[in-house]
Structure 1
Amino acid sequence: MLLPPLPPSPLRSPRRLLLLAASLLLSGCASTGQSLAYYWQSVRGHLQLMHAAEPIDSWLARGDTSQPLRDRLQLAHEARRFAVTELALPDNASYRRYADLGRRSAVWNVVAAPPDSLTLHRWCFPITGCIGYRGYFNEADARAEAARLAADGLEVGVYGVPAYSTLGYMNWAGGDPLLNTFIGWPEGEFVRLLFHELAHQVVYANGDTLFNESFATAVERLGVARWLAERATPQARADYAHGDARRNAFRALTRAARERLAAAYESAEAPPDPAMATRKQEAMQAFRADYAALRARWIAEDGATPAQLAGYDRWVADANNATFGAQAAYDEWVPAFEALFEHEGRDWPRFYDAVKRLAALPHERREAAMRALLPTPSPEKPLA
């Protein structure tokens, strides 16, 4: 996940950084007052996070560091080396420090979309361009922004994010740290998130959330598959395979729902269109019914507990155009990137160079190139 980063600068003074961020902000899309408030919370929150981070070796030297945390920090050391030596990901300061934020998410994202479209509302920033979400370090601030957007007639979503990338711009100050918000995840899940965030430092297409997040997701999937095959224990491989099968089944379910919704919106007449509203309602009802059936199979066949499925339950209960649109950003181009990886001989530097060439293209040409990379669809299989 990306958060609008502080600009690269030799300045080291937090006060100077704040002033620089505020001055850059004036070129953004929102009103000056809203922009200043947003950038202030962004800079303040990030500086607090950076201040809380200490080198992994310092945590390992402390007598009060628990054994589970020690084990996981050692795993982070190994995964970080693997990312550099086996996946050609950046060898820099990021993820060599750890911070306990004392909260369950690093930031909270706000997403929004019109009632008749899956296209996300976009916010514009001086460095990252226009992106389809807005990150807040305080959940209450995120929900206040969501309420404002809902009052304007948009469908909204707010969700916690365990980690974010500053695109490498903060490596001079210690880099993006490991966080308590994901340090305790199962091995495969922890490693794939680490690879995802590092991938954002390799390639960034200004203003193209779909491209950026799908690329990072492709890197995480390809990278974790190699990690599990070469470094993980049989139990870690089994645990990841179990969770990944469930995740893929849910992705297939939401992809089908997005297609039904998109078809309803594309066939709509000029608003208001009662027929479109009916088709939308039917698509949402079908999605929730399909999830209920999938959930029942998970419980009956996989032994899943309601507590284990609580995250899926919340997502389905809150599902709307905004949350469907946000999810698409992480999935849409992944098959195209995986096909490109194969085309480049599964050679990581060659793959990254090819992705950089795509990122340099104008948006329309980049999108056409991505569509050309998509594999031919195969017949749908029953959801597992």
Structure 2
Amino acid sequence: MQRIFFRVILLLALLAALSGCTGVGYYAQSLKGHVGIMAARQDVDRLIRDAATPEPVRTQMLAARGIRQFATGRLDLPDNASYRSYVDIGRDYVTLAVFAAPEFSLVPKTWCFPVFGCVPYRGYFSRDSAVRTARALQAEGLDVHISGITAYSTLGWSSDPLLSTMFAEDKTHLAALVFHELAHQRVYVNDDTAFNEAFAVVVETTGVKTWLAAAGDAEGLRRYEAELGRSDDFVALVAKTRDELGRIYAKGGSAAGMRSAKAAAIERLRARYRRMRDGRWGGYAGYDGWINTPVNNAKIAATSVYNDLVPAFLRLHQLCAGDYPRFYKAVKRLGQVAKTDRVRALEGVEACE
């Protein structure tokens, strides 16, 4: 399935527990999951040198090492120990992110944590814990969406490893994940997931294009740009339904009436998607998994949170002439603007100072 830009930031459970916050069980599972992964790390260079390393794994590690070097050398991303080790976690997702929103609102529920601020999800290493949380939220009358996550970032607090889940697709997919997660280490603004994720998406997408061009991979670049085009199409499709739902909720009325109108809007989304898939996309079915599973406010809000500000960040990157150090400085300055004014400041930038 085509990847939507969902990411999860691990909240350092030990710091949270020491702060005296409630929900010790949540922090305990986070700490246990993260510590287990860190304890299983294998050095990438050692895996490449070791004659006992299976050839497919050695090939993956060579690709990962080159991508990591490019991230620092060409994209000015942090030169640290992150993504220089590897862990085979033996499952499809490293964590599960639980999103929630009211039945008649597209404003996602947020959870707040020490150090990292507030985010519109809770991440779980334990599937059982994620499902229990989802059921509890549903019992409160909330729409809930669970998304499998293939990579996470501790924002440089620990040396994040490459995970087997990051190799599920091709090298381009791996490069996108590494660039995105390292971008979070370069700039992170508390309590503003939309800002952080859109920034990282732009580092990811422009970085992958730069990486493919530097490698002289014209066919890979063509495929990647086609992939981005479909992603833009799909995000726009979801945004149209989000706007429709927003008007339905703003109009109000009986719960039964809004529920019926909401269901009809979601069915229109599915119908528009299938027309686009079978027409403009020539039968490409990469988003069928998203569209054919339950669609609700939580799922739609999650997609919007991670994509709404991407065009503004792309524009800023262009104003900076693709110069990554200048771009990062400009983003850091915007991150210091009051949150209430930040989007307006981003969209109103006229030059990369």
TM-score, normalising length: structure 2: 0.91
Mapped partners of 1:127, 1:99: distance in 2: 26
Q: CA deviation at 1:274?
A: 4.7
**Contact (CA 8 Å) 2:244, 2:265: kept in 1 or not?**
yes
Deviations 1:92-150 (A, max 9, x none): 11000010000100100000000111111011101111110000001121111000000
Task: Give yes or no for the alignment of 1:350 onto 2:326.
Answer: yes
- What does residue 226 of structure 1 align with? 210
Partner of 1:23: 18
> Equivalent residues in 2 for 1:162-241 (5 A)?
162-170=150-158, 175-231=159-215, 233-241=217-225
For residue 22 of structure 1, report the CA deviation from its aligned partner. Answer: 1.7
The 8 Å contact of residues 10 and 152 in structure 2, kept in 1 or not, is answered as: no
Aligned length: 344
Q: Secondary structure, in 3 states, of the residue corresponding to 2:33?
A: helix
Structure-2 residue corresponding to 1:10: none
Identity level (%): 39
Which residue of the partner structure matches residue 112 of structure 1? Answer: 100
Q: CA deviation at 1:230?
A: 1.4
- The answer to whether 1:149 aligns with 2:137 is yes
1:359 pairs, out of 335, 342, 345, with 335
| RMSD, matched Cα | 2.1
Distance of 2:12 and 2:103 partners within structure 1: 33
Q: Residue 340 of structure 1 contacts residue 373 of structure 1 at CA under 8 Å; is this kept in 2?
A: yes
Q: 1:287 aligns with which of 247, 264, 269?
A: 269
Task: Give the distance between the partners of 2:128 and 2:98, measured in 1 at CA.
Answer: 11
Going from structure 1 to structure 2, the CA distance change for 1:56 and 1:240 (only over 3 Å counts) comes to: same
Determine if contact 1:187/1:236 at 8 Å carries over to the other structure: no
The yes-or-no answer on 1:5 pairing with 2:11 is yes
Contact 1:192 1:220 in 2 (8 A): yes
Unpaired runs of 5+ in structure 1? 8-17, 375-384
Say whether 1:276 aligns with 2:258: yes
Q: Does 1:101 align with 2:89?
A: yes
After superposition, give the CA deviation of every residue in 1:139-171 in whole Å (9 maximum; x if it has no partner).
12111100000000000001110000101111x
1:273-312 alpha-carbon deviations (Å, 9 max, x no partner): 554334322211110111222233378x35x4xxx63x53
Aligned partner of 2:44 in structure 1 is: 56
Does the 8 Å CA contact 1:2/1:164 hold for their aligned counterparts? yes
Shift of 1:235: 4.0
SS state of the match for residue 214, structure 1?
Answer: helix
Identify if the C-alpha distance between structure 1 residues 21 and 281 changes in structure 2 by more than 3 Å, giving closer, same or farther: closer
Relative to 1, partners in 2 of residues 1:67 and 1:247: Cα closer, same or farther, differing over 3 Å?
farther
TM-score (norm 1): 0.84
Q: 1:328 aligns with which of 304, 308, 316?
A: 304
* Residue 32 of structure 2: aligned partner: 44
